[in-house]
């Protein structure tokens, strides 16, 4: 697009509203842009409305949704605006079910280089989250089929919906989802994370780290690490001590590092001091993403220097430079 293009000009103007001084001015401008003919402009305006918690714009967001849904394939390519509108309504704690119900059932097949793609998958996912926050009496029943949606972004949204707003019934459905499986590791990981955030989830998730399905086991390991639960670290440590497979140990090391728990960092540093060179290098790589933490970097440096192995010292300086 050229700089004179009205859509590009509008997008730049909407972007500047994030830094405008007057809330009244911002909301007045966003109200105007939510009625723009360009779905890209509407998308950006809706996103900023959600970010700025502009609850007074709720009627305009709903109106924009209804306008675009009259002919979404023509008016909103790739569902760019519809997704951001529903995400903004969710962020603004909008509790009326009609918008979410329509979004939940929307399918929008669009041409691509291969087979047509469903552009509305993310819309179904965020609509699932919104619907379970309403008092709609059949919300659980409406969202349940989305756990089996053919598109991963929709399934991911349903998992988040059940984990965040589904109560005990939602968590039970996530357990069932894990027992039946999913081809997408991110969906599995979201299930594990939701259960680990709830009481009694640790024992259930732990069962999966020894399963034959490698992707499921790895997703469970990552979930345990990212939960940052001290008890989850103990599970990972015990698994490490009875694991000889190097690839799985890499995942375990990365998960323990992701927990950023002091005990986990201390354990990994003990491996830097004492484990074989290949394992020590894998542990160093697992810790490198957290080089911005001075405490972690100091602990790793001390462990590497205690070991005194030149190749490991060189690798440390390469991976931990300029964090």
Beta carbons within 8 Å of 320's beta carbon, 6+ residues apart: 288, 291, 297, 300, 301
Q: What pLDDT is recorded for position 267?
A: 98
**End-to-end Cα, the chain, rounded Å:** 37
How many C-beta atoms lie closer than 10 Å to residue 186's C-beta? 14
Task: Give the helix ranges, DSSP H, for the chain.
Answer: 6-16, 23-33, 39-51, 58-68, 72-75, 80-91, 97-104, 121-131, 139-143, 152-165, 167-180, 185-196, 201-206, 214-227, 230-241, 246-259, 262-274, 277-287, 294-307, 310-319
Q: What pLDDT is recorded for position 212?
A: 92
Choose among 63, 119, 109: nearest CA to 88.
63
Instruction: Please tell me the distance from the alpha carbon of residue 95 to that of residue 32, in angstroms, as a whole number.
Output: 24
Q: Which residues pair with 117 in a beta bridge?
A: 110
Quick one: three-class SS letters along 67-105? HHCCCHHHHCHHHHHHHHHHHHHHHCCCCCHHHHHHHHC
Instruction: Please tell me the distance from the alpha carbon of residue 269 to that of residue 173, in angstroms, as a whole number.
Output: 39
Q: What pLDDT is recorded for position 3?
A: 55
Q: What pLDDT is recorded for position 1?
A: 45
Instruction: Please tell me the distance from the alpha carbon of residue 66 to that of residue 74, in angstroms, as a whole number.
Output: 14
Positions of the chain with pLDDT under 70:
1-3, 322-323
Which pLDDT tens digit goes with each residue over 191-245?
999 999 988 899 999 999 999 999 999 999 999 999 999 999 999 999 999 999 9
Q: What pLDDT is recorded for position 244?
A: 93
Which pLDDT tens digit goes with each residue over 95-113?
999 999 999 999 999 998 8
Q: What pLDDT is recorded for position 77?
A: 96
């Amino acid at each position: 697009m050229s700089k004179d293009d009205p859509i590009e000009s509008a997008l730049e103007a909407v972007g500047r509203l994030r830094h405008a001084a007057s809330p009244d001015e911002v909301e007045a401008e966003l109200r105007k842009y939510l009625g723009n003919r360009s779905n890209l402009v509407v998308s950006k305006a809706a996103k900023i409305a959600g970010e700025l918690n502009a609850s007074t714009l709720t009627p305009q967001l709903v109106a924009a949704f209804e306008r675009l849904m009259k002919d979404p394939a023509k008016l909103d390519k790739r569902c760019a605006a519809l997704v951001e509108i529903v995400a903004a309504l969710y962020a603004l704690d909008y509790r009326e079910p009609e918008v979410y119900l329509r979004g939940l059932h929307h399918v929008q097949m669009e041409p691509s280089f291969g087979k047509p793609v469903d552009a509305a998958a993310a819309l179904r996912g965020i609509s699932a989250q919104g619907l379970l926050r309403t008092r709609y009496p059949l919300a659980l029943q409406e969202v349940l089929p989305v756990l089996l949606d053919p598109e991963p972004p929709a399934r991911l949204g349903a998992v988040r919906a059940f984990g965040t707003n589904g109560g005990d019934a939602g968590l039970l459905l996530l357990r069932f989802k894990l027992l039946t499986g999913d081809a997408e590791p991110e969906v599995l990981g979201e299930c594990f994370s939701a259960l680990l955030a709830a009481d009694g989830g640790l024992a259930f998730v732990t069962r999966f780290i020894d399963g034959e399905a490698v992707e499921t086991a790895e997703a469970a390991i990552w979930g345990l690490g990212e939960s940052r639960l001290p008890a989850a670290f103990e599970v990972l440590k015990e698994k490490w001590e009875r694991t000889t497979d190097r690839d799985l140990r890499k995942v375990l090391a990365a998960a323990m590092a992701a927990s950023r728990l002091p005990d986990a960092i201390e354990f990994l540093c003990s491996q830097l001091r004492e484990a074989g060179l290949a394992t020590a290098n894998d542990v160093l790589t697992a810790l490198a993403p957290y080089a911005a933490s001075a405490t972690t970097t100091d602990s790793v440096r001390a462990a590497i220097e205690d070991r005194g192995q030149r190749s490991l010292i060189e690798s440390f300086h390469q991976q931990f430079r300029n964090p």
